[in-house]
Structure 1
Amino acid sequence: MEFSVSQPSDIVINEILYQKENENSPEFVELFNRTDNNFDLSNWTISDAADNSATLPEGTSLEAGSYVVLTDRQSFANSLSNGIFLSGFPSLNDSGDGIIIKNESGVTIDSLFYTERFGGNQDGISTEKKDPDGASNDPNNWNSNTSESGNSAGVENSIFQLDTISPEVIFAKLQENGNVTIAFSEFVDLSGSTISAGGQQRSVLNFSPTEANKVTVDGSGLTTNEHIEVSITNLADVVGNVNSSASGQVSQKITPGSVVINEILYDPLSDDDDNLPDQTEYIELYNTQNYAISLEDIFLNDAPNEDNEVNRLDPVSSQFKWIQPNGYFLIYAEDQTFDFSESQLAEYFGLESQSDQFTMQVDRSSLSLSASGDAIFISDSSGTTIDSVFYDESWQNPNRVSVDGVALEKINPAGPSNDDSNWSSSTEVSGGTPTQQNSIFQEPGSAPDNSGISFTPNPFSPDDDGFEDFLSINYTLDKADYLLRVRIYDRYGREVSELANGKPGGFSGSLIWDGLTDNGNKNRVGIYIVLFEAYNSAAGRDRTFKETVVIARKF
């Protein structure tokens, strides 16, 4: 047999089983010769991140287009026609490890550092390369074996698929030092690319072939708190697929109030015996800004105790997570799969096509949200509270017979998160609207130009159909130090609801009436009087406005 001199990536790491089924089962690394040449592997070495290594025996060879399996179990090697037992085979860590293949001269032919993102993180299940010609250290080019045996040692991988898809921009972030980091859907080759941000061409500051799914470019002159686009011409991946014009939005730092809690499913439907998909707890976030916001390093926590300590829930990963301008983002808990498209939540609400970019998983069976009421905090890496809600089951629509499996939704996402009048039950048949506009969403309307009050809509129809169910009472005042007292009367002068009593007013704002009495009963169709009083007892100032509003019903 005629042998050729090996070059880096001629032979690649193609399959790894690092998480044993039991203590007696094998670990292995499969190598694949992706060329038309034959190679002598005598005295080649395989090593891990700690430099533990084993040497391949004299006479080992690998023909063109063939596989060889290196393993720590003699019995497993004997079961394969192309298996080799290595007595010093380095033990592969379940949590992640390096694998380095060197030829007899000590030249690295292929290497990678795998993590759970590569797949294969179930006992006895290997992780495999999708396209052998793709980058070995790109986790997007790997996934768990799908065969019944749990591996494809010595033969073509069960998930083999040639990469014919060009790379995309999946994330971009304006860093605090003013530079822009851009992440891609796979490892890329930037040798023929031009990168622009904010309409100006940018120079590359940092790009490494070992982490070729991201690049840092100069961001001088970019303005914060406004929409920024990044564009790249002739973006190529490792196997040569080219995107002639890739683009994305540059996300910016999260700040208090820029992202708010918008929907909460705290009491999901779950029945193991009904043969139907189950709900899972989720929290939906909403971006109140007109620019993208990075959600890297955020976490959930409860209310601080007397020692200012919190219980926090960290996501599996927040890397490259962001929320679109005026867009939605899901935080959910499941421990059966790390692929959102395969989650119970996606199956129940028909979200299988939803991108993982706009979801964040907590690796546990639930978020531990109480059905009677609880506190939810969203915090950044420094512990700063971005938004918080102290919800209560009484915030649900009192006219619903049952609220099991029904999410609480905000009426106005930009309104206060802890105002119970700004929340109510979802009217969607499925029980919620994750990643979509809330079923009870209403624009609050504009405050009057001069001192006074206005209503949106008027008439309104509180019939729980998700359309014009709530009345927004919008106001403008001449001073910011008033306190508000707002009451609703029927046409006979009887008080039916008190919306505010001592609430700070500010110069302008809005209040929401659900059309119900203070006892949660429905009011009759007809004319109602809104008495709006703004007072400052210390200064001896007060303003009073009285207007009518109509409750209507559909015929």
Structure 2
Amino acid sequence: VPEKWPGLSNTADKIILRDLTGTVIDSLAYNDEWDIVPGVSLEKRLPEDPGEQKQFWSQSQDVSGSTPGADNSIMPRLYDLKPDSMVVGRYDGNIETEVNIVCWFSNRGQNSCNSAKISVQENRQTIAIKNIGEIAPGGQDSVTINIGTFESGIHRLQVFIDWNEDMNPGNDTLSTEIRTAYPRDALLLSEFMANPREVITESGSNSEYIEIYNPLEEIQLEGWMICDENTGTPVEIQEQKTVSSGGHFIFAADSSVFHFARVKSSGTVVLKKFPSLNNTADAIYLKDPTGQTIDSLIYDSQWAVPQYLSLERVYFSNPNTISNWRYSTDLSGGTPGYKNSVAIDDDADKKQGIETSPNPFSPNGDGADDEVAIIFKLPFPSARVTVQIYDLMGRLIYEPAKNTTTSSEGAVYWDGSSKHGNRARIGIYVVRCSATDAASDKTVGYITTVVLAR
């Protein structure tokens, strides 16, 4: 260490190297155009390069900011092939579509590369290889690699140089991401709480939430999006969580959702920018990692969103209409994370026809048995259903459903309303269900009775 170090200016100065006789061996003059950065040294590309010319000097690329006593970090290796950039060709996200990647690379070494390979890997498994021909020092070239197809989800790919002589492995790899769409209804909206309590209770929370259900195999949720009517601002799930086959998963506005007894952290994500749900009218959109809408619903004032109660889906096989969503009957006000309280199980052994539950029912506003579910099973995969309520005199009292689109199973509800007044009278009523096949126009009809009590 020299006793009198010649302090170097941060903006402009001159460095002169002399031998023992005082003869100038090398020198350079730098100024504020040399991109001097605090804590980072300037390194010469090669020892034989002219030292006084700026183009042969660059900032150190070493993680420490300098390489005193070692080879300069910017010095070309004898053999060094580098992928410079890549781009994924036009890809529609379809599971049946192949992907092509264009990769540009250059020879950063001092010697030629006679032959090498570019490999593409996913999860450390090689999925494609492309040979590279001879490339001279300083030369550039590109290759197109065809890969795929890909299953639904996010696929993280690494493109790297495979050359045994390469002496700089730190610059051999580039990464990219492929997002492939999921089929419609791969995940389904199952429940939502739009108007929660204002205070937290032992069995409930004051958090809005949206619950989804998985009818397929296990699905990775990273990259999925949820949004309300403002579809321009979807919230993307960043956590690497999964929803199992037949399982439920919750998107919550805050952590008070864990006051529900059965809510587990493994099946829940609290979103910092949860799409606040309006109490009267709004929409919910569930989007896959490609941005494609997988399930959605629109609710308005006719849904009469209640306070303290969630709305739950009755049949996953039926569309998101008002007749397929009911108020939760659970004492805590909702069933986030587990089976809906109003869900009606699909039963392959159930006979075709209609049944009512509960029977009798008592629409007196006490919260118990205030409406009757008219449950039907049809001989058609899809149909238009009309349900009518008659008194014993044969007068039409109410029509809970008219030409409603449904699958082979479904339910409609009657709360005792009458087209002749506010409420129907106590007594026995005839329930008539007619269904028309959406494909053939074939029609079937079923009749049963229900008792209205007080």
* TM-score, structure 1 as length reference: 0.45
Question: Counterparts of 1:470 and 1:484 in 2: how far apart (Å)?
Answer: 15
Shift of 1:523: 6.3
Which one of 265, 268, 271 corresponds to residue 354 of structure 1? 265
Q: Aligned pair in 2 of structure 1 residues 277, 528: CA closer, same or farther (>3 Å)?
A: closer
Question: Counterparts of 1:530 and 1:432 in 2: how far apart (Å)?
Answer: 30
Q: Aligned pair in 2 of structure 1 residues 547, 458: CA closer, same or farther (>3 Å)?
A: same
Partner AA of 1:257 in structure 2: D
Deviations along 1:357-403, whole A, 9 cap, x unmatched? x3333323x52211112111112233321111112354358xxxxx3
Partner AA of 1:454 in structure 2: I
Which one of 236, 245, 249 corresponds to residue 325 of structure 1? 245
| Structure with larger Rg | 2
- 1:373 alignment partner in structure 2: 281
Shift of 1:345: 2.2
Question: Counterparts of 2:445 and 2:435 in 1: how far apart (Å)?
Answer: 6
Deviations along 1:35-55, whole A, 9 cap, x unmatched? xxxxxxxxxxxxxxxx97749
3-state DSSP class of the match of 1:345?
A: helix
What is the 5 A alignment of 1:142-153?
none
Shift of 1:215: 5.5
- Contact 1:459–1:552 at 8 Å: present in 2 too? no
Question: Counterparts of 1:415 and 1:460 in 2: how far apart (Å)?
Answer: 26
Deviations along 1:86-105, whole A, 9 cap, x unmatched? xxxxxxxxxxxxx9569977
Shift of 1:524: 6.9
Partner AA of 2:410 in structure 1: S
Q: Aligned pair in 2 of structure 1 residues 435, 393: CA closer, same or farther (>3 Å)?
A: farther
Question: Is 1:454 aligned to 2:354, yes or no?
Answer: yes
Identity of counterpart residues, as a percentage?
25
Q: Aligned pair in 2 of structure 1 residues 259, 323: CA closer, same or farther (>3 Å)?
A: same
Question: Counterparts of 1:286 and 1:293 in 2: how far apart (Å)?
Answer: 11
Question: Counterparts of 1:483 and 1:412 in 2: how far apart (Å)?
Answer: 16
- 1:439 alignment partner in structure 2: 341
- Contact 1:294–1:321 at 8 Å: present in 2 too? yes
Question: Counterparts of 1:543 and 1:269 in 2: how far apart (Å)?
Answer: 45
The structure whose RCO (Cα within 8 Å, separation 6+) is larger is: 2
- 2:316 alignment partner in structure 1: 413
Shift of 1:494: 4.0
Deviations along 1:264-290, whole A, 9 cap, x unmatched? 111122259x9999512111111122x
Deviations along 1:409-436, whole A, 9 cap, x unmatched? 112334322x212212122333222112
Deviations along 1:158-177, whole A, 9 cap, x unmatched? xxxxxxxxxxxxxxxxx989
- Contact 2:387–2:401 at 8 Å: present in 1 too? yes
- 1:283 alignment partner in structure 2: 210
- Contact 1:330–1:359 at 8 Å: present in 2 too? yes
- 2:168 alignment partner in structure 1: none
Question: Counterparts of 1:325 and 1:254 in 2: how far apart (Å)?
Answer: 15
3-state DSSP class of the match of 2:265?
A: coil
Partner AA of 2:334 in structure 1: G
Structure 1 gaps of 5+ residues are 1-50, 56-98, 108-174, 179-204, 208-213, 226-251, 305-309, 335-342, 398-402
- 1:269 alignment partner in structure 2: 197
Q: Aligned pair in 2 of structure 1 residues 543, 427: CA closer, same or farther (>3 Å)?
A: closer
Determine which structure has the larger strand proportion and give its number.
2
3-state DSSP class of the match of 2:184?
A: coil
Which one of 330, 340, 345 corresponds to residue 257 of structure 2? 345
3-state DSSP class of the match of 2:323?
A: helix
RMSD: 5.2
Deviations along 1:118-143, whole A, 9 cap, x unmatched? xxxxxxxxxxxxxxxxxxxxxxxxxx
